[in-house]
Structure 1
Amino acid sequence: MRTLQISEARATTQSFTDEQAAALAHLGVVLASERRWWGAADLGSGGGSVFRLTKLYGGSWRLDVGNVVGVVGLPDLTLIIEPKIGMDHFRHLLARSNGLPRVDSSPTSLEAAPDLQRLVIEWFVSELDALFRRGIVRDYVSTSERLPYVRGHVNLASTSRQWLQGKVVADCEFEDFTEDTPLNRYLATAALQARRSPWINDRMRARLAYAARELPAPRPEPLPDVDVENLPARYRHYQRPVKYAIDILSGVGRSLETGDQASGTFLFNSAAVVEDGIRIVLADGLRPLRVVKTGGRYLLPAFVSVNPDLEFGPPPFTGDVKYKIGDRSWNRQDLAQAVLFAAAYKSPHAIITDFVERDPSHRELNVGDIKVSRLRWVVGKGTGPEESERLFVDAAQDRMTAALTELSGSAQLA
């Protein structure tokens, strides 16, 4: 299978077969179908799709990808979409965020890693849904039970002891046709462990709770070894959910690298992940100062809405998270938006956060009575995400301390 690696938020020219292009176009619509998940982010794809495909002369295709990161499985092709800020920094912010992927069952093969365990849980639940629609397997299972009547084979020694004690019961060994099979219990144990994961939200926990009700209850006894590649014919449709169950019980996730681990298609709304991650990093680093997503305000009488990504306070200072690699110059559109947010909230200070490959200088600019500050997260080679976070938070603390001092001085003068 061929693997193609591209960067998000870029247009590239690629060679796709008509079948691959059709599959990619279909998945683009499916993965973009939940508007609430994508929010108001610009996918850069139009037409309600994550991807925009344009056929060019000679059979090539122009592929436009928005702010999405993930892996897409196509016929004989795996498409890996990498983050513009580098995988280490994206993975770091993803771990801090509450971002959830959109998944599809289209198969891929990725490398096992401790990261992105929530993906495996998403695929596991999706495969369980398909399994329940088809029906879980009932099978004959050897069991033993003490009964008031004879069933199957009777254990004469233990039954005789019961009779000598005046208990008219029989210790019976028999085969029961039941859903309580080892493989079904294996899936149930994985579902129980997945519900305890800190990486999932309440919606996913509810789906796992439903799965647990459809499966037999786990037992305290050790789980059996499972040969996934050689399941009996009647269990062949269990192969994919069992593979994910093994990963869940082993604590195995995935990376954005090709490998030999069964995986599915997934995409993250990278802009939303980064915004959420930056907000949580700042909230942790600036305590006790509150850092939240604002509920937005309306400018009357036209009811024009303003929705800053960040609100620091009290008092309310506003901020905007830009998922882009910046440079030394000021972007006029970003500056105008930050000033609009600050004016709407009557904030004397506004923050713009973005990313930079080098020169992490945190610059300031006065626009009338509003001071605009830039906080830069360094993503260049040689600077790891932990160091970048430390520098970013230190700069934010200095900026907020200065802003509060200036505000206090202004109040005393008034």
Structure 2
Amino acid sequence: MTAASGCVIELVEHAPAVSVPLPDAVGRALVASRIADAAPDAYAPGRWVLRAGSKVGAVRLEPPGGPAVTVRITPKVPVARLFFLLGYSLDPRGWRDGEVEIAEHRELLPALAHAVERQVDLALRRGLLQGYMPTEDTSLVVRGRIREAEQVRRRFGTALPVEVAYDDFTDDIPENRLLRAAVERLLRLPGVPADVRRRLLHQRARLIGITPLVRGQALPVWHPTRLNSRYHHALRLARAVLEGSSGEHAAGNLRIDGFLFNMNKLFEDFVTVALREELRAGGHVARLQDTHHLDDDARIRMKPDLVVYGDDDGRLPRAVVDAKYKAEKRDGYPDADLYQMLAYCTALGLPAGHLVYAKGNGPHTAHRVRHTGVRIHQHALDLDQNPRQLLGEIRSVARQLVGGPPVGSARE
């Protein structure tokens, strides 16, 4: 159910459009930022017709001289299931046996803030991780190596001070900078519960000596190793927070601050990662977003979500998959997806292609394309079930990709 209450607007992902009172500046900002579909209500001046798409979360819009407006978009799938999809796609081996802890929270943003704070707390219980960072400095003593070109350019042959470069053992490393940035990002978002906010402030105090990220700066790069293994879960959630931030930007004179998950991308990531893990366990080679070309001149690029290869070199395609979260037609799957999959099969020389949807309007079906012999399969995953059952459906699709019977079929 969707309703507007004061300056808080509640929407539901892919629910019917609703008319709400809204300042024109806020409505135009929603259109420009693509947070939701928005248009002036032709029958009621001062009101806008809003419809949420596949983005879920919460954003606050602050027009100059007016009250802030918070838009909350609730996902159709349970929040616990959404966090399983997120956790599995970020780290399938680490999250395979459980879900991201979200406590009793039933709304997306409080659950996200709680999950990140718990993981940061676990990561920092043994103190801040330290590591070596390349450092360039001007010093009165030689440390590391002398930067000869800089010494000549800046000092004109004088002996002191010395331009040096060395590796400094410090806690101001990319891992800690990402954690601090995620904590500070959550503290600025609307709708974080007071108890979670207090714990986030405690985590920020533990990271107070870490250099904050500059707004607009690229996120620091980290690599999973044995030494930073206790940080892995926290870092993956931190990147999800920082990459999913809706802005913290201004549209005209209006400021937007919030966090949104793109359910299309979340579903695509989960399906392709889960299929890759199942196929890898069976000894098959599967790659995500591999580049291929539709034409002989290699001018028209294609990037299927997942391609399975039939040889160890990974050169002979065996199956192709595209994941689609939402069917656009009321009466079933959109035809454009079929045309796209036919192009993939034609270019890769495959007799069959596979489209994987979130279960909605259409059932599992298959189409044989005239004059080509190509068969296009359309699978439907039911997200409203527990993780074990959902991974069972993924396993069934994976077996069909390599010519095996579906899980639970009569052929088993």
TM-score by length of 1: 0.51
Partner in structure 2 of residue 189 of structure 1: 206
Alignment of 1:357-396 (within 5 A): 357=360, 362-367=364-369, 368-380=372-384, 383-396=385-398
- Deviations for 1:133-177, whole angstroms, at most 9, x for unmatched residues? xxxxxxxxxxxxxxxxxxxxxxxxxxxxxxxxxxxxxxxxxxxxx
SS at match of 1:79: strand
Q: Does 1:295 align with 2:295?
A: no
- The structure with more strand, counted as a fraction of residues: 1
Equivalent-residue separation in structure 2 for 1:15 and 1:185 (angstroms)? 38
2:183 paired residue among 119, 124, 141: 124
Paired residues of 2:264 and 2:326 also in contact (CA < 8 A): no
Mark the CA change 1:334 to 1:16 in structure 2 (over 3 Å): closer, same or farther.
same
Partner in structure 2 of residue 338 of structure 1: 341
Give, as a single letter, the amino acid of the residue that structure 2 aligns with 1:352: L
Paired residues of 2:56 and 2:263 also in contact (CA < 8 A): yes
SS at match of 1:281: helix
SS at match of 1:81: strand
Equivalent-residue separation in structure 1 for 2:300 and 2:53 (angstroms)? 26
Give, as a single letter, the amino acid of the residue that structure 2 aligns with 1:311: V
TM-score by length of 2: 0.51
Partner in structure 1 of residue 102 of structure 2: none
Q: Does 1:354 align with 2:357?
A: yes
The count of corresponding residues between Structure 1 and Structure 2 is 259
Q: Does 1:280 align with 2:273?
A: yes
1:309 paired residue among 282, 305, 309: 305
Equivalent-residue separation in structure 2 for 1:344 and 1:308 (angstroms)? 11
Mark the CA change 1:300 to 1:72 in structure 2 (over 3 Å): closer, same or farther.
same
- Deviations for 1:56-88, whole angstroms, at most 9, x for unmatched residues? 332321124443111112445432212344534
Equivalent-residue separation in structure 1 for 2:187 and 2:382 (angstroms)? 41
Equivalent-residue separation in structure 2 for 1:366 and 1:335 (angstroms)? 11
Equivalent-residue separation in structure 2 for 1:194 and 1:321 (angstroms)? 39
Give, as a single letter, the amino acid of the residue that structure 2 aligns with 1:91: F
Partner in structure 1 of residue 262 of structure 2: 269
Mark the CA change 1:301 to 1:185 in structure 2 (over 3 Å): closer, same or farther.
closer
Equivalent-residue separation in structure 2 for 1:374 and 1:355 (angstroms)? 11
Partner in structure 2 of residue 157 of structure 1: none
What is the CA RMSD across the aligned residues, in angstroms? 4.4
Paired residues of 2:60 and 2:69 also in contact (CA < 8 A): yes
Paired residues of 1:355 and 1:378 also in contact (CA < 8 A): yes
- The structure with more helix, counted as a fraction of residues: 1
1:374 deviation in Å?
2.3
Equivalent-residue separation in structure 1 for 2:41 and 2:181 (angstroms)? 33
SS at match of 1:299: coil
Partner in structure 1 of residue 323 of structure 2: 321
- Unaligned 5+ segments in structure 1 are 33-44, 100-107, 130-183, 196-201, 208-247, 249-263, 404-414
Paired residues of 1:306 and 1:344 also in contact (CA < 8 A): no
Q: Does 1:69 align with 2:69?
A: no
Mark the CA change 1:353 to 1:128 in structure 2 (over 3 Å): closer, same or farther.
closer
1:294 deviation in Å?
1.7
Equivalent-residue separation in structure 1 for 2:108 and 2:321 (angstroms)? 40
1:17 paired residue among 13, 22, 25: 22
Q: Does 1:79 align with 2:71?
A: yes
SS at match of 1:56: coil
Higher relative contact order (CA 8 A, sep 6+): 1
Alignment of 1:94-109 (within 5 A): 94-98=86-90
Larger Rg: 1
1:96 deviation in Å?
2.6
1:311 deviation in Å?
0.9
Percent identity for Structure 1 against Structure 2: 21
